[in-house]
Amino acid sequence: MRLLIVAAMAAIGISSIAEAKAPTSDDVFAYLQALNDALPKAMEARKSGDLQGLSRQSKQFTALAERGKVFGTSILEKPYGSCYATGVALQSWWQAQVQAVSAGNKAPVQDVARDAWNTFRDRQASCMKAAGIE
């Protein structure tokens, strides 16, 4: 557990627990921006179907979800648990995208991807509201 905390702290530039501070709305904004910035490259990789590109993006979404742990590890944690859940939801959406490519973009898999996207957008809105970013 301590290693996860240290890794999450390192992701936002904190080198020791003594330096740790409660996340701010600026931290939330930066995190949401990082999530949004990951989307264009992800869609490029999806369109090309390049397995290495898909793998790189999968690793990036995993790292982003991990980075979100600075906001908590449950959607129920206040004030920014929904921000952590936003990163997890985006990672789930990406996993659905990869599954869609693997399945030849069949409708049932596309439905899962659409549902995951809607969950991401809901969580993103909750996160923004919690941070006063609307």
pLDDT at position 2, please? 45
Tokens of 133: 């970013």
Question: Is position 117 within any domain?
Answer: yes
Domain count, the chain: 1
Tokens of 4: 């996860």
Domain span including residue 65: 23-131
Question: Is position 12 within any domain?
Answer: no
Question: Is position 1 within any domain?
Answer: no
Q: What is the CATH number of the domain that holds 55?
A: 1.20.120
Mean pLDDT of successive 10-residue stretches along the chain, which has 134 residues: 50 54 94 96 89 92 96 93 96 91 76 92 96 89
